[in-house]
Amino acid sequence: MRIAICEDDATMQEKLREAIEDWAESRKMKVDVICYPSAEAFVFAWPGISFDLAFLDIQMKNMSGIELAKFIRKTDSNMLLVFVTSFKQYALDGYDVNAMHYLIKPLSLAKLLPILDRARVIWTSHRDAAMIVSNEAGQSTLPYGDIFYISTSSHIASVHTGNSVYELRKPMNELIEMLPDYFLMCHRSYIVNIFKVYCIYKDSLLLSNEVSLPVSRKKSKALHDAFVRLHTGR
């Protein structure tokens, strides 16, 4: 697992790096942690290096962590993003870029470790699990993490990613059984990847790619609860 730390405070950067490496050792997991002193340094290096998880300091000189996250999201919708900030009011900005979580300074291991554990679960699911789908080009393997939502009509499922649609001949009940638990029904005809949800309203939700889906009354509470757990850890 490759992790980036973009933090202009050298002391905080080192504490975070050491905490991540200690966590990885305790989980018997190999990680590659690369640190950057500014958003500009990350942008310069990023085209040649792919990351699974990035910790972004919100308040940096020139380019902020929020601006950097928006830059990342232009081409990468799957990188897990965690904001690091001294101010709680910035946390809501994370929803604009589908951030996984935020950390309030000073660094607390009690807050950091559950975030790392959750990131590991997401990363493992996205890396190892996939389904076979088809479109006009033929059959292909599609990682679950690339899926935004699935719509169904009769026994035909349309699997939607950020820029493609694939077909799968399975009824809704079979789809729910085969998908990871971060996929939830938001309506009798729709299954959504909770990691791709930007915000939830009373009878609809908005995905991070600006697609709106209906939310039925029966599915509303479970969906809201999952969304809150994802972004708060509670």
Strand partners, 214: 204
Residue-wise pLDDT tens digits, 191-224: 999 888 888 998 999 987 889 999 999 999 999 9
What pTM was computed for the model? 0.65
Structural domains in the chain, sorted by start? 2-127 (3.40.50.2300), 130-232 (2.40.50.1020)
Is the Cβ–Cβ distance between 45 and 95 less than 8 Å?
A: no
Residue-wise pLDDT tens digits, 118-161: 888 778 766 656 778 877 767 778 888 888 999 988 778 899 98
82: which 2 tokens?
């965690």
In eight-state DSSP terms, residue 39 is: H
115 CB-near residues (< 8 Å, 6+ apart): 82, 100, 101, 103, 233
